[in-house]
């Protein structure tokens, strides 16, 4: 079993190691209602509080994904409007400076399409884009593998039809 952080310094390293997963989930679920930073803080809090519950039945990165997605879904479900919220902008993403304008436009278009999906659909497509297997997606989301395949097929068709 992988070593779990026990101090705030170790947790900081843990967060840096898994920041790609955390940031991606925040990026996909951030809206004008629930900000990127609020989602990130919620995920980090739940990771810290849930460390003792990690039993090593899955990879640590799979567990981080599960906590991150569930935290984002709960934050959206429990959303209560705040006074000074700003919408998330694609320009806030830390992308490579080598990315050309065409790729930036494609990324923005993909983000717009994904934001039109239902929360569970966002989670599934996010994991699939990150090259998780159907079995891993099923484990993270908490559904059957065959259900993942069916939902993923429908999500792809939905994205194709919306992109036309």
**Average pLDDT over every residue of 130-153:** 90
Residue 80's pLDDT band (boundaries 50, 70, 90)? low
Cα gap 38→45, rounded to integer Å: 11
**What's the CATH number for 8-163?**
1.20.140
Structural tokens at position 49: 């509080």
**Average pLDDT over every residue of 136-164:** 89
What are 82-135's pLDDT values in tens digits?
Answer: 544 445 444 445 545 555 677 778 878 888 888 888 888 998 998 898 888 999
Three-class SS state of 92: helix
Q: How far are the Cα atoms of 143, 144, 154 from residue 133, in angstroms, in the given order?
A: 13, 12, 17
Domain positions in the chain are 8-163
Helices and strands: H and E segment counts in the chain: 8, 0
Three-class SS state of 118: coil
What are 2-54's pLDDT values in tens digits?
Answer: 677 878 888 999 999 999 999 999 988 888 778 899 999 999 999 999 988 88
CB-based contact 64:140 (threshold 8 Å): no
Cβ-based neighbours of 69, under 8 Å, separated by 6 or more: 25, 123, 126, 127, 140, 141
């Amino acid at each position: 079993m992988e070593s779990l952080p026990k101090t705030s310094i170790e947790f900081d390293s843990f967060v840096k190691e898994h920041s790609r997963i955390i940031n991606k989930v925040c990026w996909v679920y951030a809206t004008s209602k629930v900000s990127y930073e609020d989602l990130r803080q919620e995920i980090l809090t739940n990771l810290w509080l849930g460390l003792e519950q990690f039993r090593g039945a899955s990879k640590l990165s799979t567990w981080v994904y599960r906590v991150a997605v569930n935290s984002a879904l709960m934050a959206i479900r429990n959303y209560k409007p705040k006074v000074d919220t700003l919408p998330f902008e694609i320009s806030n993403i830390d992308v490579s400076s080598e990315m050309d304008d065409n790729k930036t436009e494609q990324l923005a278009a993909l983000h717009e399409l994904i934001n039109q999906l239902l929360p569970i659909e966002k989670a599934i497509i996010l994991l699939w884009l990150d090259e998780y297997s159907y079995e891993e997606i099923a484990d993270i989301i908490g559904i059957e593998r065959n259900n993942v395949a069916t939902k993923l097929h429908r999500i792809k068709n939905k994205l194709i039809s919306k992109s036309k």
